[in-house]
Amino acid sequence: MYIILPYKAKFIIVNSMASGQNHDKATKICCIPIAICIGLFFGLGHGMIAGISFLIGGLWLSPDLDTYSNSLKRWGFLKFLWWPYRKLIPHRSFFSHSPFIGTGFRLIYIVLLSLIIKRLIQSFGITLVPISIFDLSSLIETYRAQFITAILGIEGSAWLHLILDGAPNPIKWNKLKRKKKP
Ligand SMILES: [Zn+2]
Length of the chain in residues, anyone?
182
pLDDT at 62: 96
pLDDT at 86: 94
Q: 142: part of which helix (H) or strand (E)?
A: helix 133-142
Beta partners for 6? Answer: 11
pLDDT at 4: 43
Give the Å distance between the CA of 122 and the centre of ligand 1: 36
3-state helix, strand, coil in the chain (%, to 5): 65, 5, 25
**Cβ atoms within 10 Å of 43's Cβ, excluding its own:** 13
Give the Å distance between the CA of 145 and the centre of ligand 1: 29
| Distance separating alpha carbons of residues 10 and 141, to the nearest angstrom | 59
DSSP state of 171: G
Which residue positions in the chain have pLDDT lower than 50?
A: 1-15, 170-171, 180
**Residue type for position 61:** L
pLDDT at 32: 97
Give the Å distance between the CA of 124 and the centre of ligand 1: 39
> From the CA atom positions of the chain, what is the Rg in Å?
19
Q: No. of H helices and E strands in the chain?
A: 7, 2
pLDDT digits (tens, 9 = 90+) for 4-33: 434 444 443 334 567 889 999 999 999 999
pLDDT at 3: 38
pLDDT at 13: 38
Q: Give the predicted TM-score (pTM) of the model.
A: 0.79
pLDDT at 152: 96
